[in-house]
Amino acid sequence: MDQPIGGFGGNALHDSFHRMFEISRAEPPPTLEQRQDRLARLRALIKDNEKRFEQAISADFGHRSSTETLIAETLSLLGDIKHTSRHLKRWMAPRKVSTQLQFLPGKNRLLPQPLGVVGVIAPWNYPLQLTVAPAIGAIAAGNRVMIKPSELSPHFAALLQETVAAKFDASEMMVTGIEAGVAEAFARLPFDHLMFTGSTRVGRIVAAEAGKNLTPVTLELGGKSPTIVDRSADLDEVAPRIAYAKLMNAGQTCIAPDYVLAPQDRVEALAGKIWGAMQQMWGTDPANPDYTSIIAEHHYARLKSLVDDAVARGARLLQPASADDAAWAGKRKFPPTLVLGATHEMKIMQEEIFGPLLPILGYSEPTEPINFINGRDRPLALYWFGTDDTARDQVLERTVSGGVTINDCLVHFAQANQPMGGVGASGTGAYHGEWGFNTFTKMKPIFYRSPYNRFADLYPPYGAKIARLSKVLRLMS
């Protein structure tokens, strides 16, 4: 860093960072027992306040399905903590690395060490999951954690701040406020690592601010995640899986299917089946408690503008009611909407949707979906449905995305032994399980010199000794 930490001034945010930073440098790395204790306290924090978190998140949304909070947030996190606790001893152990012949019997090791202080800037769409999941990896790696919740989640943010303060010393983990100016100031702090989950637009700003301190960043962004329905797919199996993934959390999911590419002559049939599955699972009543509200009025208006633009440009809609319908708009629940006849000029095909709108486009040639996807920013997720292994493998080999689920949607996110991360405009870096531990760890390479090895004695004066050694080294190369 170019400036001393002590120069940050006296406000609470800078003081909290200063304290964490100094302790992280002064104290030895947390032991396995200390890390396990912090994970146990984090688990207790979630379990003890499960209903309170559910209520706070629902209050922020206007209405949030309690089942979706349970499945996508609470249970997911408890599973992550259990998995991490079970494997942490192995992850923390020094790792053996092979040694080149000429340096034997010396040995190489990688020593996992905490980075220090990790910052987490969290989003509003899955506030508990996307706040705590990075913290699990950071704590497991032995770091201290500062969290900045989303300003669109004030009830959740206040509860998280209260519960973290009750379970953790402020030098271990703390939650900032969400008042104006905190986000910008937070991103400017010289963290040892910064994790941001949110939009690509804001991600660019966060990365630019972090770059001023050379702070490494992990960016979990979004984009337009495509779904390819191959001609070999069974539409009766495909439809409910796409419908569920699209309408979970009312489409406010970074890895939700953003649009569908299907054989041109099967578009109408697929749309009918997806529409039927949506009605079967969620019905057409906005009072349905299983259907989640849109987070804020301006997001509702943004979704409506995407639909209006599509209709003005010739698209056809399947929806139970207009977005202007008082029964839906009054609850801020956007009617599930299928968009047929979408074209590239429509805003709905240019922006990440992040809501319950699903364009379905047709293709004629098998390579069209690959070319279509490769002509755009690399997506956070990609989904493929079908039984043709050759067609599947061609898509996997020729497209690049953050992650893939075959014959379903979203499920790759739940794999504890797989990394979660984007690529290009959809993000950089990865976390989850051991990948999260590694992200927030410095793997320090160490070489142990053996007293019996003379190859390292390449000191001058050079001459015959070096000539003899160089011959041996060439034979080894």
The verdict on 304 and 177 lying in the same domain is: no
Is residue 254 flagged as an active site residue? yes
Kindly tell me if the per-residue pLDDT of 317 is higher than 90: yes
Kindly tell me if the per-residue pLDDT of 82 is higher than 60: yes
The verdict on 398 and 268 lying in the same domain is: yes
Which residue is catalytic, options 68, 73, 220, 352? Answer: 220
Classify residue 404 as exposed, middle or buried by CB count within 10 Å of its CB (0-12, 13-18, 19+): middle
The verdict on 233 and 198 lying in the same domain is: no
Is residue 409 flagged as an active site residue? no
Residue 460 lies in a domain: no
The verdict on 257 and 167 lying in the same domain is: no
**Mean pLDDT score of the chain:** 94
Range of the domain at 154: 5-221+428-442
Q: To which residue do tokens 């001393």 refer?
A: 4
Which residue is catalytic, options 54, 172, 209, 254? Answer: 254
Give backbone dihedrals phi and psi of 441, rounded to 5 degrees, phi first.
-125, 145
The verdict on 91 and 144 lying in the same domain is: yes
Q: CA 421 to CA 82: how far, in whole Å? A: 21
Provide the pLDDT confidence category of residue 6 given band limits of 50, 70 and 90: very low
Residue 395 lies in a domain: yes
- pLDDT tens per residue across span 464-476: 777 777 777 787 7
The verdict on 315 and 180 lying in the same domain is: no
The answer to whether the pTM exceeds 0.85 is yes
The verdict on 198 and 88 lying in the same domain is: yes
The secondary structure of 322-347 as a DSSP string is: -TT-HHHHTTT-PPPEEEES--TTSG
Residue 471 lies in a domain: no
- pLDDT tens per residue across span 264-295: 999 999 999 999 999 999 999 999 999 999 99
The verdict on 247 and 151 lying in the same domain is: no
The verdict on 73 and 162 lying in the same domain is: yes
Residue 454 lies in a domain: no
Kindly tell me if the per-residue pLDDT of 456 is higher than 80: no
- pLDDT tens per residue across span 358-395: 999 999 999 999 999 999 999 999 999 999 999 999 99
The verdict on 316 and 370 lying in the same domain is: yes
Residue 464 lies in a domain: no
The verdict on 272 and 386 lying in the same domain is: yes
Provide the pLDDT confidence category of residue 324 given band limits of 50, 70 and 90: very high
The verdict on 258 and 335 lying in the same domain is: yes
Q: CA 294 to CA 107: how far, in whole Å? A: 57
Please report, for the domain that includes residue 281, its CATH number. Answer: 3.40.309.10
Count the domains in the chain: 2
Among residues 31, 39, 235, the alpha carbon closest in space to that of 138 is found at 39
Residue 278 lies in a domain: yes
Residue 467 lies in a domain: no
Give the dihedral of Cα atoms 267, 272, 273, 276; nearest 10 deg: 160
Q: What is the pLDDT of residue 455?
A: 62
Overall average pLDDT of the 332-358 stretch: 97
Contact partners, residue 2, CB within 8 Å, separation at least 6:
none
Please report, for the domain that includes residue 178, its CATH number. Answer: 3.40.605.10
